A = this chain, B = another copy of it.
């Protein structure tokens, strides 16, 4: 995307390679290395580095929280995949499929402990603040995941409830990553809050765009079959709006198990378009991205320093995969 983005991606990969979890028994450590090296955009540690850099910090001080956020994220993937009964992640077997559920629970637990072990290496003068935002965020992510699970059996999910859920499950961690970069660059509390809010709004825009692409993305671009959310009857904004605007038809269609999958996806997508749910979602995503850009404008550093973060927001905003 740009040189600094690449630089921080590489730095993350280097740190993760050095880290290499090892110990006994091997079968609790192997899944940790396995999931970490399935790939991934490493967006979370990159955000910590980018924010640290934006506020003129010493990048070395951001390493511990940056890497910790990636380890935490991967812990949550292992456990979420169990809850979602997901067979694959990035085209490879999930941890509980390759090993078993018990080992996936324990490896995940150990990975959460390791996230804390790593973040504990943050320089003492930043440690209190770092732990405070990290602990808060970690709790929120668990809450968000539980909400997401509850929605599966909850008949009516409101727009507000859905937005609350993705905020907790996805967005706050991006805000936390940026804030940890700012803290380790000695940014003021006020600037830390701005960059946190920037991250949360960017995360909302990102997740809503993700939901849009799950139905309307080009499967070649997205790299996986689209329509997954539709077939799982996931109560996303598209579902909620279509149900609100075309109640009877939409609900009988989405709950009809006799229609073949490809046809069902196409017919549901038509309802999304007919009801304007697709546009509503795109506009909502856009609204959050613009809010995040507004926070970026308010941050009190030279425009030049904001370039990488601005590029990241623009990239996420205009992506089609």
Contacts and interface: CB of A to CB of B under 8 A. Distances in A.
A110 B141 CA distance: 9
A128 B108 CA distance: 24
Interface residues of A, number: 37
A142 B102 contact: no
Interface in A109-126: 109-110, 112-114, 116-117, 120, 124
A82 B105 contact: yes
B120 A135 contact: yes
A120 B132 contact: yes
Contacts of A131: 116, 120
Interface centre among A28, A105, A128, A143 (most CB of B within 10 A): A105
Given A103-B146, A106-B146, A120-B135, 13 more contacts: A23-B143, A24-B143, A82-B102, A103-B149, A106-B142, A109-B109, A109-B112, A109-B142, A113-B135, A116-B131, A116-B135, A116-B138, A120-B131
9 contacts: A23-B143, A24-B143, A25-B150, A27-B146, A79-B105, A103-B146, A114-B139, A116-B138, A117-B136
